[in-house]
Chains A and B, each alone.
Chain A
Amino acid sequence: MITTMEEKPHIPAAPRKRKLPGWAIGVLWMSGAIVLLSVTSYQTGFLQLTSSGTTQTAVRLALPILLAGLGGLWSERAGVVNIGLEGMMVMGTWGAAWAGYHWGPWAALVAAVVFGALGGLLHAIATVSFGVNHIVSGVAINLLGAGLTKYLSTLVFFPVSHNPRQSPPIQPFDTYSAAGFADWLGELEQGQRLIISDVAGILRGLVTGVSPLTMLTILLVPLSYYLLWRTRFGLRLRSVGENPHAADSLGVKVYFHKYVAVIVSGGLAGLGGAALVLNPGQLSYLEGQTGGRGFIGLAAMIFGNWRPGGLLGGAALFGYADGLQLRSGGETVLALVYGVVLLLGVIVVYQLIKRKWFSAAAAIVVAVLLYLLYISLDEIPGEFVSYAPHMVTLAVLAVASQRLRMPAADGLVYRRG
């Protein structure tokens, strides 16, 4: 009796207030990741983990994924699932190659946006006006994108390039480097001091050989955030994705906002296609060159919890992991496993302070298993290495999926009442 009296009634904890603004959390995550990579590279001796070359590779590989992900963000925030990103990206590649061949790289960007946006318009007509299931329409657009570009490239490119699958080469963008600054960073990187050299390496990778398209893409992330979260238009657009009926009852033009969102989405995916075509290693349209990057962009967006900052992190993760395995292979990725063990160690400490015994125990078990893996192997087998980014994403999704929240009316067909 006494004991029951002493027990306090369970009061649900008040929702925690955010002490830090979003950008500060982002910066914290970034610096945490850099410190982790730095310690890992220092301990394992794999300097490639934070070298400027790896960073540049990561940026180049992340660019199309980031753009496709931004496209997904716009569309899904307005409640339209866009699995047709891949098809819109393919249309963008064709448009970029066609205009780029005739009028240079800037025209390529414009044409890619226009072609992608046309794909978006089609998706909007099907899903918004005619109420077609979003997945069905998206798959149809993927098929249409592949078929249409095949037809068009046979028609237009074949007489010039004598190859129905490929366009003639196009002009690349000039790239820009922060000359003096980059050299200074290069000296720091060579110094091989803990953290300083790593930060220098990463920064140097970010400021050398930057093309206008890279700058534009990086700017599009805060711009999307500003438009979607800080303007009246953005609030309406998001309200359409959360509860279209309520939005409609308040006088928001639901169809209009959905149309705009999906068309912008297509344009961004098309720009992602242009990023592939204008990559200095490619510089032409090639059938099947997107290789599923539209879908990976979608995954990066889900990874980023339908928010631009998280999406940037997801795209960077894909670009980094893929770049690392392409450049340095299995042994370096194994070093990354060691980094994950360290990260899990930090998580364990955090969970213990929070006194979440079960999570801590689970993290310890995983950490020990990974550490044994790291100790016993010399190199991760190639079959696994190539899918390292996918597995990292799976792991992150498994850990964080409870905290992800998609727009409430995402994927639902809305009929005007």
Chain B
Amino acid sequence: MRRRMRGVAVAAIALTSVMTMAACAKDSGGGSNNSNTGSGAACEFATPPTAPATSNTSSAAGDKVDGSALKVGLAYDIGGRGDASFNDSAAAGLDKALTDMGIKKENTRELSAAPNEDEAAKQTRLRQLASEGFNPIIGVGFAYAESMKLVAAEFPNVKFALVDSAVEGATNVTPLLFAEQEGSYLAGVIAAYQSKKCHVGFVGGVEIPLIQKFEAGYFQGAKAAAPKIQIEKKYITPAGDFTGFQDAPKGQEAAKGQIDKGADVIYQAAGASGKGIFSAAKQGGVLAIGVDSDQYNQATVADTKDVIVSSMLKRVDVAVYDYIRAVAKNDLASLPKVFDLKVNGVGYATSGGKIDAKLQGILEGYKAQIIEGKIKVADKP
């Protein structure tokens, strides 16, 4: 009997402490939740820099280069030619080089990667191209970084290039890097000017340094255009879990969450998950900004193209073309260290007609400032 009494007493004490605990929640959380009711007005914009009178066009000069002696090998990332994105862009660069420099079709070889293949498969692919006499060899995608480090050392006389990554200590590997943050800066400016509630969002695929460059530039650009802007961000998966680049249902939910909080322009850097983000924008009646290629004209997202204001362009084709050209001229030093706004390595698309002349003028102003170095865009958030 006494034991039971004691048990009840202890239980009562515990119950009271639970009750107290229930009253001890943080108060901080509530503020950000009054989503749709909050800011309803458009942004107050900072004074944009004025556009330069003359826009300097691409520096690529017109002199004819003969590349007929070249044997070009391309190792694609997952998807290969026909993925309507990254790899296709590289393929377009190769095709242009073929017609411009007289490279013979039979002197090129394109190989594609399989999903979840191991490191050895990538090495075999590069080794196969190198031992068959292809030179230069271009690895499309940072996935080739490790294997290229090994294979490039085995073939010191072959010229390699690697898109999106650098290989330390390998003199015969040319990194083809892009200033994604600069293009994303302009995407941020576009978002700020298109937003009706001064509230925008960013959805990244996987939280890796490459995608963080997009985030950093976007945030900086949006804040430069409208200092008081509210920005949401979400990565679909953390580093190491690459399903975030091809999970459109999850991309859709992430974007919906941001739209429900009040964001009305969403910038996506999420690969094939981007489809879900466009779909969420369409269902929510808001706008979206695409990435890598001009997604307004991309067949796979054609049903949602009316929400795509613009796309941040990453010209892998320009980089591949310029690299082949530099190899043909035997002048690798002429390649830019980073393909940035200055050399048209990144940019923005105007398809769809949502970017009017006025906004375009503002964008050119920011662009000129970045090219001149007056605005420094950070590549880390």
Contacts and interface: CB of A to CB of B under 8 A. Distances in A.
A109 to B, nearest CB: 17
A352 B249 contact: no
Contacts of B33: 45-48
Interface stretch (A15-23, A75-83, A335-343, A401-409): A335-343
B250 interface: yes
Interface residues of B, number: 61
Contact of A352 (B14, B80, B237, B300): B14
A166 to B, nearest CB: 6
A331 B79 CA distance: 36
Interface in B253-291: 253-254, 256-257, 260, 272, 275-277, 279-280, 283
Contact of A386 (B22, B237, B248): B237
Contact of A61 (B21, B253, B260): B253
Given A57-B253, A386-B238, A291 B247 contact: yes
Contacts of B7: 352-353, 355
Contacts of B120: none
Contacts of B260: 51, 53, 327
A345 B249 contact: no
Interface in A137-195: 146, 150, 158, 161-166, 168-169
Nearest to B21: A345
Interface stretch (A100-108, A121-129, A220-228, A275-283): A275-283
Please classify how large the interface on chain A is, using the bins under 10, 10 to 19, 20 to 34, 35 or more. 35 or more
Contacts of A32: none
B169 interface: no
Given A281-B275, A286-B246, A352 B252 contact: no
A346 to B, nearest CB: 7
Contact of B14 (A323, A329, A335, A348): A348
B303 A338 contact: no
A335 B83 contact: no
A164 B80 CA distance: 8
Contact of B29 (A44, A57, A341): A44
B11 A353 contact: yes
B360 interface: no
Most buried by A among B22, B29, B234: B29
B247 A43 contact: no
Given A43-B25, A280-B283, A352-B11, A169 B82 contact: no
Contacts of B53: none
A57 B257 CA distance: 9
A60 interface: yes
Interface string B116-143: 1000000000000000000000000000
B272 A286 contact: yes
Contacts of A291: 243, 246-247
A326 B14 contact: no
A292 B29 contact: no
Nearest to B255: A281
A218 interface: no
A327 B115 contact: no
A162 B300 CA distance: 9
A197 interface: no
Nearest to A162: B82
A328 interface: yes
Contacts of B79: 163-165, 287
B273 to A, nearest CB: 9
A382 interface: yes
B254 A282 contact: no
A212 interface: no
Nearest to A364: B14
B170 interface: no
Contacts of B299: 161-162, 168
Contacts of A335: 25, 29
A386 B283 contact: no
A60 B18 contact: no
Contact of A323 (B27, B116, B253, B279): B253
Contacts of B243: 288, 291-292
A181 B205 CA distance: 37
Most buried by B among A46, A150, A158, A386: A386
Contacts of B272: 165-166, 286
A293 B235 CA distance: 19
B17 interface: yes
Contacts of B253: 57, 60-61, 281, 323, 326-327
Given A57-B256, A158-B82, A383-B238, A281 B25 contact: no
A327 B250 contact: no
Contacts of A374: 26
Interface in B17-52: 17-18, 21-23, 25-31, 33
B302 interface: yes
B347 interface: no
Nearest to A350: B11
Interface in A350-388: 352-353, 355, 360, 371, 374-375, 378, 382-383, 386
A208 interface: no
A123 to B, nearest CB: 22
Nearest to B283: A280
A40 B239 CA distance: 30
A305 interface: no
A280 B82 contact: no
Given A51-B260, A166-B272, A291-B247, 20 more contacts: A44-B26, A45-B27, A45-B30, A47-B33, A60-B249, A161-B299, A276-B249, A279-B252, A281-B251, A281-B277, A281-B280, A287-B115, A289-B248, A291-B246, A327-B253, A327-B260, A328-B257, A338-B26, A382-B207, A386-B238
Top 9 A-B pairs ranked by shortest CB distance? Answer: A45-B30, A281-B252, A327-B257, A281-B276, A345-B18, A43-B25, A291-B243, A352-B11, A282-B248
14 contacts: A40-B25, A44-B25, A53-B260, A279-B252, A282-B252, A283-B275, A284-B300, A291-B243, A291-B246, A292-B243, A327-B260, A345-B17, A352-B7, A352-B14
